[in-house]
Amino acid sequence: MLLRHTGKEIMERKALTINPAKTCQPIGAMYAALGIHGCLPHSHGSQGCCAYHRSALTRHYREPVMAATSSFTEGASVFGGQANLLQAINNIFTTYEPEVIAVHTTCLSETIGDDVNQIARKALLDGKIPEGKTVIHAATPSYVGSHVTGFANMVKAMFDQFAVKTDEKNGKLNIVPGFVEPSDMTEIKRVAAAMGVETIMVPDTSGILNGPQTGKYRMYPEGGVTVEELRSAGAGIGTLALGELASAPAARSLDNRCKVPCRVLDLPIGLAATDRFVDGLRKIAGVNVPDSLTFERGQLIDIVTDMHQYFYGKKVAISGDPDQLIPLVEFLASIDMIPSHIVTGTPGKKFEKRIKEITKDVPGTVNVKAGGDLFMLHQWMKNEPVDLLICNTYGKYIARDEDVPMIRMGFPIFDRVGHSYHPTTCYKGGIRILEKILDALLERADRDAPEESFELVI
């Protein structure tokens, strides 16, 4: 009963967020930066911000996340952080020898107006950036948007500051996967490779934040998109951006600057969105869909057929990031579940419009809110109870309070392990989502079944 004060009466709130459904911009920027091989993310602000962002990522991925900080104190807060950042760049290249430093700002450095572009140029002119090394930077004020915005800004900075415009094509397709698990990046690359499409994934945290235990610590694990690949992104045959919020800004910017045609699709979560992804790969690269993928698709359909009787008419409350929620809600509606309450913490009216289109044939009222919070989701659940909650770790308090089964999806997940090793994207990921949902529903049915109908076979 931790949330026992949550009432049923819903009041209009503009200036107050209760139990946020998002986290701050630099976390997304830091996560994206870790997807460059040999990159050390750098937080231009106070130590507290950097410590929080590192610990959030470390707890979610269960890997030691390294990042540096400009360590603002009172002096830097008043006079600006240029001296701190110049010193930091010098120290980092001397001591930790990364290929790239990816600087993101914080609320404080944005508020005092530090011009990181100018500071990075000064570092170059002062000889603090060794030959062949690079400093990139993104503005990530946390009072705007969410961790998704921060991710999008850092990926855009990668294309803007690395990709070189050229008339020659490298025959490769750039894929911007969005703020997804490393396992999803592996899965998306696997599907593209199965279709014979050569790709450059920007960023690519697979192998970095879900790597093996080798007994040896490596500050820069194998994996990640290389600087060479980032430079050649400007010679790509096209860019596939998976997600309007996390991925599209970078792809559109590359299109404008380097004339690499971009296409924006939903994340391949569920059957229809994965079909669109596979079709997008087929059209852009001019390839055929192999039998192996048709087989996987058929397996997903078979599972839907086998499980449909348990999904039919079950109401779901969902919170997460917009790029994930759009295809997930579409998937749930397609298997005759009822997505009743949908909240994302990231603002954006387009999200609400899209969800309304997807759910127009869903029976009953569908509540949807972009820029909402988990308090609102809880209130909706109190007024219109559901059979299942899909949320990040913070949903567990609501699930316990309402005695509703819950499955964990999205970011952050602090209280379960394994999510960074198993994809929820593409056909195989769809099977995993369905398995998780069915397990949660049937566990609850078993728990509540009277002894005479506690069945061995269902």
- Point out which residues bind ligand SF4 (CB under 6 A): 24, 26, 45, 49, 52, 106-107, 142
**Sequence-separated (6 or more) residues with CB below 8 Å from residue 223:** 37, 204, 205, 206, 207, 208, 211
Give percent helix, percent strand, percent coil of the chain, each to the nearest 5. 45, 15, 40
CB of 29 to ligand SF4, least distance (A): 10
Please name which of 397, 332, 363 lies closest in space to residue 3, comparing C-alpha atoms: 397
Instruction: Identify the three-state secondary structure at position 313.
Output: coil
Q: Quick one: 107 or 265, whose CB is closer to ligand SF4?
A: 107
CA atoms within 13 A on the CB side of 240: 27
Tokens of 294: 């048709």
CB of 181 to ligand SF4, least distance (A): 22
CB of 51 to ligand SF4, least distance (A): 9
Tokens of 388: 């299942």
CA atoms within 13 A on the CB side of 249: 15
CB of 323 to ligand SF4, least distance (A): 21
Q: Quick one: 49 or 233, whose CB is closer to ligand SF4?
A: 49
Which helix (H) or strand (E) is 390 found in, with range? strand 388-391
Instruction: Identify the three-state secondary structure at position 262.
Output: strand
Q: Residue 166 and residue 275: Cα distance in Å, rounded?
A: 32
CB of 348 to ligand SF4, least distance (A): 19
CB of 316 to ligand SF4, least distance (A): 30
Residue 92 and residue 33 in contact, taking contact as beta carbons nearer than 8 Å: no
Q: Quick one: 105 or 253, whose CB is closer to ligand SF4?
A: 105
Q: Quick one: 105 or 174, whose CB is closer to ligand SF4?
A: 105
CB of 88 to ligand SF4, least distance (A): 17
User: Which residue has tokens 């296409």?
Assistant: 263
CB of 99 to ligand SF4, least distance (A): 25
Q: Quick one: 45 or 280, whose CB is closer to ligand SF4?
A: 45
CB of 55 to ligand SF4, least distance (A): 11
Backbone angles phi, psi at 66, to 5 degrees: -95, 140
Residue 117 and residue 84 in contact, taking contact as beta carbons nearer than 8 Å: no
**Sequence-separated (6 or more) residues with CB below 8 Å from residue 102:** 29, 32, 33, 36, 39, 40, 41, 42, 135, 136, 137, 138, 154, 157
Residue 45 and residue 109 in contact, taking contact as beta carbons nearer than 8 Å: yes
Backbone angles phi, psi at 393, to 5 degrees: -55, -35
Residue 300 and residue 323 in contact, taking contact as beta carbons nearer than 8 Å: no
